Chain A
Amino acid sequence: MTASKPIEYDAGHYDVVVVGAGHAGCEAALAAARLGCRTALLTLNLERVASMPCNPSVGGPAKGHLVREIDALGGAMGLVADKTSLQARLLNTGKGPAVQALRVQSDKAAYSREMRRLLFAEPQLRLYQGMAERLLLAGGAAAGVVMRTGARFSAPNIILTSGTYLRGRIIVGEALYAGGPNGEQTALTLADDLRAWGFALGRFKTGTPPRLARQSVDFGRFVPQAGDRVRRSFSFLPQPSLFWGEDPGRQELCWLGYTNERTHEYIRANLHRAPLYTGVVEGIGPRYCPSIEDKVVRFAARSAHQLFLEPEGHESEDMYVAGLSTSLPEEVQTLMLRSIAGLERAVLLKPGYAIEYDYILPRQLTPAMALKDCAGLFSAGQINGTSGYEEAAAQGLLAGINAARRARGEAPFIPGRADGYIGVLADDIVNKELAEPYRLLTARAEYRLLLRQDNADERLTPHGREIGLVSEERWRVFQARMERRRMVLARWEERRFSPQDETLRAVLTAAGTTVPPGGASAAELARRPEITVAEMALLMPELQDIPADEMSEALTRVKYAGYIAQQETAVERMKKNERRALPEDLDYERVTGLAHEGRQRLREVRPRNLGQAARVSGVTPADITALLVHLERRRRRGASDQ
């Protein structure tokens, strides 16, 4: 067969073209279309939009925070995850207000269907199935995308959200083949095209565990993990689950089990066939997501590792085996699985695999997700070296917003580190050199107490409103919530209890704390460690109509006011340096006194302000001082490096 070049044809002119319909691409396309841009969303498989090739869940610490923020800005993930949830749990309830996070088990097929429904409901959005082959760039600016079939989508704004599809390579034991996740094809030429245009790419690796047939599992040998009895949702506009409606008692279960010495024996005996150890895998894998072979080698003293069986859908036969990510040969995977109590007769549906892929070194990005060297070209999600559906969706939303703002001639929207995890994420990936796929952690947020999941709306909904993604309904809901909170806090301040008050005495005694001899206000009582939402409700029954999550949010504010003020002061200090903009034409070669590494990194990242410059990895305080001196000299000479 001889290769022939298809004849290019004009497939339309758009404001924004999005390449890839995963979690980043869907948010990006929805945001751009909703902001009034004529948008095209190109995908390899229209039946698999917003697919979840790895774990069947959304949320958890930091990730759940992100989903709340996406929702607060007017994104889709929160609503879709709520609607398609099989089970929901609030994690970290005992560890403090800042780190509590919702996590739902998702019905993968329903998630994809629901997202597809939202996409098709957008009048400004056109969906199209095909493989993007190359970019059209003209004069250092985005111009369009050409498909393998010759279709040319012209647009001044392109968002690349092609995930792990760039030069994807699947590895299962000795089996090696080009491919995307979950049996998809890989994007064949786009990576080479990006390289040819001069963009720097790196190579990462990630992996996924095997899937088992549900009816082959003896669930009697596992410990059931139920969802919470209280109904909670990601979205500030609650959306009942398609599967359990408003009745938490109908949630699906997950199952906890353990590996054993026999499992580990099979793994050890086959390490010589493990691609991770034979040198077949070249990409760098994440430390937070080690394969089971890695765990057995690194933690040799452990006689058991835990695993969770998680359903992939209400009607799906697939059980996801969380904790058992592997790229061992298929037959070893089967042996290993069958050594586990309850999986003696397990049937393997899909083997675990490792996948290697190219990613764009994110130092080439601005925190608006725009590639610095090509006007109108954006990238978001795993293509930027991150991992996780939530991280991808957040970047997609950011890229969609900023592509639309560019199309409308507006300044980019860049959330800061004190605005949300979305800001931490964007700032981290552009300033740090990634040694592994980037995953968001609450430990990465220095103002964690300010970035709670319960105040994501307060932090971001006003921004979303200004951008134009917050609907009238959401805005009304938001304002009502803020009004209720002001009222609760005011009432707590006003309401004083005399030490003789019968209710007060009863409630405080029951809570195991003393009655203040001089009496106290409700707010003062709220600061006591023994006092929870339950006691506050008993003390002030007139506030019983306020939803429990709002009461708890108000209580957090009062209880931890000191720490919150401390973090707010730190934010102010940071913002001072953020306000000192660095000129775009700053020539770092001309800044005397920069150390070699600092100069190199500053040239690569080209930070927007002094605060960002100080966060660039490899830049020392001395470099910042040298930069300050240079800026002052430049100012005196009249704003030029010459």
Chain B
Amino acid sequence: MNDDEQTIVALATPVGESAIHLIRLSGKEAGRVVAACFCPLRPERWEQSGGFTLHLGRFHDGGTELDQVLVSKMPGPASFTGEDVYEINCHGGMLAVRRIIQACLRAGAVPAEPGEFTLRAFLHGKLDLVQAEAVNDLIRARTPAAADLALAQLRGGLSGAVRETRQEILDMLADIEAGIDFPEEETDPLARADLLYRLAATKGHAADLLTGSHTGRLIRDGLSTVIAGKPNVGKSSLLNALLREERAIVTDIPGTTRDELHEYVTVGGVLLHLVDTAGLRESDDPVEILGIERTWKVLNLADVVLLLLDARDVRRGELSAEEDAVLAEYGTKVVALLNKTDLLPADEEEEWDLPALARTGARIIPFSVKTGRGLDELGRELREQAPAAAGALAEEPRLANIRQINALERSLRALEKAEEAMLASAPLDLISIDIRAALEEISQITGDAAEEDLLTRIFSRFCLGK
């Protein structure tokens, strides 16, 4: 539960495809948070409005425009929660939603816990007792699950990496605290230079988790998905079809390489970072060879490869050497889309050489960009292929992810502060304040108890006692 001094933010509409999404803020600082990110088209009307009005304008995050939005202003106590409430109507792309929420968090809001708007409404006397009965169910139904979910969403690499980073922070703090509470014991004297080195390393690991690491990127930027295939098999058409599915928002990442085409799109509730590549084939053209080499590099980094095959080739069992190579190399992360099925008689599908294809580990979907056949199945497949990323978007407590990222960011900031204090020759008892803050923040992600772990660590690492 957040402190009721804090302003909460969350998506109010169901996650997924929708023409419009609604993001809601509630709390004392809601007005200030929105004002920091919202440029109304008619500022004087925005300023003067006493509330219960709608305002068109642009939402931005530190100068980057995110979306054109409609903001409604509902000051407390007449609002639904009894606090100052602002609602942001934005376009229905999940990327835009994610970024708008991030902008609000940066401006000082905190992610709402499940059921927290309802809870606040109740605590401010806005719900009657009958309605309130449901509040408890809401709390109990979702909160314990949310803690598990936080970890479930961090399955695999990220969870391990977060725990490793947490352990590093814990060890640093245990070293400092053991030296402080047992000054005469044989705790290895903690050299400041050593501590500084460890701080820098841990800070780097936390930063990697946020930005550089494969899984960190996955959570922030979606599933890295490469569209590959021979020239003219329909890659661009597939890209366009997927983009059409995503009715509203397509955004580029500024500053990334334009050698491939990067797009963001949500398919079946999964955020994809789509990379369209140069066609795969043998070539003598030096420029094209460069492009193909890049394609292989991109394939290496991809989470999912959408390998577009011509269904007629598959039927004939005539895949190119490049297509075979992709399947052999990346089979388990390949979704083979057998395109152009519309050009084949349906009754022949049985005879295709599918077992050979399936042995590579690839998932196989009969497909037609032209008719739209297979698109739904592709969505389901992506959700299965990428449970972590899918969980991040397809389940209701999706904000758990933003919460984790936020906690990690705060942990990183605390580590940075500790490093600064270290460089400014601050004493250990002050540095420990920041390192402890870093530990507490990162512990919110893993759900572990910081204090008890610290004491256990102090006692297990050192031989203390009279």
- Write the residues of chain A forming the contact surface with B, with a CB cutoff of 8 angstroms: 54-55, 60-62, 91-92, 94-99, 209, 286-290, 295, 298-299, 302, 305-306, 308, 322-323, 325, 441-444, 448-449, 529, 560, 563, 566-567, 573, 576, 592-593, 595, 620-622, 624-626, 628-629, 632-633, 636-637
Contact = CB atoms under 8 A, between A and B. Distances in A.
Given A288-B464, A302-B463, A628-B123, A96 B429 contact: yes
A443 B3 CA distance: 25
Nearest to A529: B425
A449 B455 contact: no
A593 B132 CA distance: 12
A62 B181 contact: yes
A326 B21 CA distance: 68
Contacts of A626: 136, 139-140
- Most A CB contacts (10 A, CB to CB) among B140, B180, B454 go to B180
Most chain B beta-carbon contacts within 10 A, residue among A97, A288, A576, A628: A288
Given A96-B430, A622-B144, A629 B466 contact: no
A287 B459 contact: yes
Interface string B102-141: 0000000000010000010011010001001001110110
Interface in B419-466: 424-430, 433, 451, 454-455, 458-459, 463-466
Contacts of A448: 429, 433
B429 A97 contact: yes
A416 B177 CA distance: 23
Contact of A298 (B1, B129, B433, B463): B463
Contacts of A302: 463
B143 A95 contact: no
Nearest to A562: B430
Contacts of A60: 183
Nearest to A289: B465
A96 B427 contact: yes
B427 A632 contact: no
B179 A95 contact: yes
Nearest to A323: B466
Contacts of B137: 593
Nearest to B461: A299
B324 interface: no
B316 to A, nearest CB: 60
Contacts of A308: 184
B252 interface: no
Contacts of B144: 595, 620, 622
Contacts of B182: 61, 288
A640 B289 CA distance: 80
Given A92-B180, A295-B463, A629-B136, 9 more contacts: A61-B180, A92-B183, A305-B463, A325-B465, A441-B455, A443-B455, A563-B433, A628-B119, A632-B132
Contacts of A99: 180, 428-429
Contacts of B125: 636
Interface of B: 1, 3, 5, 113, 119, 122-123, 125, 129, 132, 135-137, 139-140, 143-144, 177, 179-186, 424-430, 433, 451, 454-455, 458-459, 463-466
Given A96-B430, A443-B454, A295 B466 contact: no
Given A95-B427, A295-B465, A622-B144, A629 B135 contact: yes
A605 B38 CA distance: 48
Contact of A622 (B5, B140, B184, B426): B140
B465 A629 contact: no
B382 to A, nearest CB: 33
A443 B140 contact: no
A95 B180 contact: yes
B11 to A, nearest CB: 21
Given A55-B466, A209-B466, A629-B119, A529 B426 contact: yes
Nearest to B427: A96
Residue of B132, B181, B425, B466 ringed by the most chain A CB atoms within 10 A: B466
5 contacts: A60-B183, A95-B183, A96-B427, A96-B430, A290-B465
Contacts of A632: 122-123, 132
Contacts of A620: 143-144
B1 A624 contact: yes
Nearest to A308: B184
Contacts of B3: 573, 576
B466 A54 contact: yes
Contact of B183 (A61, A443, A628): A61
Contacts of B451: 444
B119 A625 contact: yes
Contacts of A98: 429-430
Given A626-B136, A636-B129, A95 B466 contact: no
B139 A95 contact: no
Please list the 3 inter-chain residue pairs (A to B) with the smallest Cβ-Cβ separation, ordered nearest first: A96-B427, A96-B429, A593-B136
Contacts of A55: 466
Contact of B428 (A96, A290, A441, A576): A96
B422 to A, nearest CB: 11
Contacts of B466: 54-55, 209, 289, 322-323, 325
Nearest to A624: B1
Contact of A91 (B143, B177, B184): B184
Nearest to A209: B466
B132 A633 contact: yes
B129 A633 contact: yes
A442 B432 CA distance: 11
Nearest to B434: A563
Contacts of A92: 180, 183
Given A325-B465, A448-B429, A629 B122 contact: yes
Contacts of B427: 94-97
B433 to A, nearest CB: 6
B1 A443 contact: no
Contacts of A567: 433
A305 B139 CA distance: 52
A443 B458 contact: yes
Most buried by A among B136, B181, B425, B428: B181
A595 B143 CA distance: 11
B119 A305 contact: no
A288 B139 contact: no
A560 B430 contact: yes
Contacts of B183: 60-61, 91-92, 95
A91 B179 CA distance: 11
Given A306-B186, A323-B466, A625 B1 contact: yes
A444 B132 CA distance: 38
A621 B143 contact: yes
Contacts of A529: 424-426
A557 to B, nearest CB: 13
B122 A622 contact: no
A299 B463 contact: yes
A544 B129 CA distance: 68
A566 B184 CA distance: 30
A302 B463 CA distance: 10
A442 B463 contact: no
Contacts of A95: 179-180, 183, 427-429
B136 A288 contact: no
Given A95-B427, A98-B429, A325-B466, A629 B132 contact: yes
Contact of A61 (B123, B181, B186, B433): B181
Contacts of B136: 592-593, 626, 629
B381 to A, nearest CB: 36
In the complex, which of the residues B113, B122, B135, B463 has the most CB atoms of chain A within 10 Å of its own CB atom? B463
A337 B364 CA distance: 76
Contacts of B454: 443
Contacts of B143: 620-622, 625
Contacts of B464: 287-290
Contacts of B139: 593, 622, 625-626, 629
A286 B433 CA distance: 26
Contacts of A573: 3, 5
Nearest to A556: B427
Contacts of A62: 181
